[in-house]
Every structure is written in C-alpha cells, then in structure tokens.
Amino acid sequence: MRVPALGQPPSAFTGYADLLAARMWHGDRWPTLVNYGCPGETTESFVAGPCPWSAAGFALHDTFSGPQLDAAVRFLRAHRGRVDLVTVSLWGNDANAFVASCNGNVQCIVDGAPAAIARVAGNLRTLRRAAPDADLVVIGAYDAKLGAFELTGPIFTALNRTMADAARSARATYVNPMPIFDAMTALTY
C-alpha cells in the first residue's frame, strides 16, 4: 500500500476503500468506487464542514462541497438502490485532538473520555435513511500507541462499544479492528 506524502493528490496512495473495491466483483463488473474520504476529518467537520484537506487546497479522491455528511447523503439519495456498500471510519482525528487537549494529563484523558466518546458516535441513522438497502459498515477505533494499552485499552473499548451500539441502532455492521493491535481487547460487541 502506498502512503501519501503531504501535498500529493489522493490518487498517489491506496487506502482501504480502494483495496475493498478491488475485491468486490459485482456479477459481471467491478463496482465504481466513490470515495469522499477526507484526511483530517473530525466528527465536527464531517457534520458542519468544510473538509480540512480540501479547505487547505489539496485534492480529494472524489470532490464534494460542504460537509461530507451532506455530500454523502446527496449522493446516496441520487443513487438510491444502486449503492451496495457504505463504509464509515470516523474517530481517529477526534481521539487525537481530545488526547492533545489534555496535554499529557492522564486524569484529564480518563475523566473526559466518556463525553468525547459520546460525540464521536453519531450520524449513522442519517446515512441509513439515505441508503436503506446498502450494507453500512462502521469501522471501529484502534489504539496504535503500542505499549500503553493498560491505560488506553479501557478508553478504546468504551469508544468501540458506543460505536457498536450506534451501528446496531442504524442497522449497520460494526467491525472492531482493535484485536489486531491488542489481543486482550478482543471483545464481542
């Protein structure tokens, strides 16, 4: 997989959506991938806009105007019945910003985590209404800070439980990537 360098167009790298689409033979054809992924996106910018990456003047895989949620809903409504799969991976930049806001204060992280987690899990019902027949897949959070799982494991477990509940309520499939990073967090949601 190619990793992007700052300023390169999205076409210069391959992400999970590209890999997934390359494996989804659809009867007699390959699917068309529409990728509204936005580097630097948070749940706040996802809902209110703009995409930080395009606002900084960089190109996206597929361009859109306004908030990513609105663009996705417009697309899904315009293509109702013709979208097979929608994936949502939206938590990482929120988690990074939250941890940074605590300036390394562990108690701040522990105390503030429940409210931060509640803000991250949301907007799935809006996508479900726009694409009632599509498979909606929510990709959970993982903690790449290897070696700090004793502190961070419970926080990521709580985040993933909240996202799994939100996914279930939106008739979405939840995928938990955390066990790949820490086998001790291999929980069923």
Q: pLDDT of 73-84, one tens digit each?
A: 999 999 998 888
**Residue 64 pLDDT greater than 90, yes or no:** yes
Averaging pLDDT over each range in 19-28, 138-147, 163-172, which range is the top one? 163-172
**Residue 149 pLDDT greater than 50, yes or no:** yes
pLDDT at residue number 104: 75
Confidence class of residue 148 from pLDDT cuts 50, 70 and 90?
low
Confidence class of residue 63 from pLDDT cuts 50, 70 and 90?
very high
Q: What are phi and psi of 85, to 5 degrees?
A: -145, 135
Q: Is the pTM of this model over 0.85?
A: no
Task: Report the C-alpha gap between 128 and 1 in whole angstroms.
Answer: 30
Instruction: Identify the H or E element spanning 100.
Output: helix 92-101
pLDDT, tens digit, 9 for 90 and up, residues 91-111? 778 877 887 888 878 788 778
pLDDT at residue number 51: 93
Query: Helix 106-120 vs helix 149-169: angle between axes, to the nearest 10 degrees?
Result: 10
Are 116 and 169 a contacting pair, CB within 8 Å?
Answer: no
Q: What angle do CA 172, 174, 180 make, to 5 degrees?
A: 165
Confidence class of residue 1 from pLDDT cuts 50, 70 and 90?
very low
